[in-house]
Structure 1
Amino acid sequence: MVAERIPALKKTDAEEGTSPRRRGGKLLWIVFVLFAIAMIVLFFRSSLSRISSIQVTGTVHLPADEVLKAAGVREGESFFFPSAKELERRIETLKAVQSVKVDKRFPGKVEVAVKEYGEVAVELDASGKTRIVLSNGLSVPASGALPDKPILTGWKEGDERRNALCRALEGLPESLLRDLSQIAPDPSTAYPDRIRIYTRSRFEVVTTVERLPEKAALLSEIVENREPGRVVLLEADTYQPFSAQNAPSQGDS
């Protein structure tokens, strides 16, 4: 008698560990993921993901196109990349820029707020052209009316004492800074950073770059309340009016 082979029984869904509901859930999830990917691709290819306008504010000496060149972005390029922080880092490499804030406003608007180093002085370059000196020591071409700032004379470009002077001038009261007419280096063995200042109110001041910020309040008081004279602000502070220097001594009478 020939043995008859019995076919294997088909496993039920419960035995296979997957129910029709679960298979349907997986399929729905796959469809959802594919749909999301398609929408993301379409979005990044649409105009909504592109820069529609770039506004640069706060520039005085820097042309807006130079700021955009440093940022490396143009209208029509990706709105999301590079990031705002990366754009700020790029723009801050410009020497005239003290700080910058980049604000992205969806859809497509990029606002760049630049703060340049402040104007603290003017000077003449080697060709005799007037330049404006910023508080970090950078000199830029003058355009239009000159600021009411002191003239730097006798300084060498790149001199660290000159740069330190520019930083010191930034911290002076605006009223005092406007009164300073000319500042020249006047170094000595004891005071390598000594400077000589002439004011519009006709004072002659001898001090040092390092001492200038701490002596600013005293200097303001003198030029506002005393007659013109010579002021020395070093280890000891002295003031002598020019009228006393020119007065005849008792022996001359």
Structure 2
Amino acid sequence: MTKVKNEPAAHSQVVERTCRILREIVWHGPVGARLVDLTRATGLSRPTVHRLLRSLVVEKFVHQNENRRYCLGSSLFEISLAAPNPFADLTEFRHIIQELADTCGDTVYFAIRRGDQAFYLLRCEGVYPIRTHVVTAGQSLSLVGSHCGSVLLAALEESEIEGILERAERHPEFFGAGTIDSLRTQIDETNKMGFNWASDVAVKEVAGIAAPVPNPNGRPYLAVSISAISSRLDKKRALKLSKLLLKATKKISELID
């Protein structure tokens, strides 16, 4: 009787642990995750992670690449084709982003992480006549060369950050007008304050303040930034705008599952 009574709880625990592992593999992107990465990130024992990975590999939800790292498998791709797109309708998000742009008067961006890039879902304009059209909706910038990208990087494990930086170093143009040192400063600032300000990142003489959108289910994968010419958006003004920015990201967080 006891075994039957505890069975649903045991099954629930297996599902929860499996989902944690899959989320971590997602965050490691195409490079893949090592067993030690997954063990450390999930807090599960090495035998438990290894056992669950074996089952996921058999079902083709996960596969091992040539470097023995774990990546997402073909079965997940098949499932994803039938899943609804949470950003097919951006109406509610647009309202929040436009409200922020109207309040601050500047250009506001809303982006989602896609691998090593930040894909821009929305760009809304304020009333200030000099605008900073660094990127438009539907375009991507490298995580290492964008304001939104810097705060999305800050949400990752150190090993993931270093992997992305290493790949980006082969393409110096990905850093835009910034440098690795300035990017590390942005990451540190995000981890300390929940947002960061920087100038001369994607384009010279353009400044921005960015913050990740809190994710109730794990690490942030969305970000919002305010952008303006550097003379208009110095660090002092950025600190004032940070309250508005964080308020907007909280509103967006309440809309995501």
TM-score by length of 1: 0.26
Larger Rg: 1 or 2? 1
More helix per residue: 2
TM-score by length of 2: 0.26
More strand per residue: 1
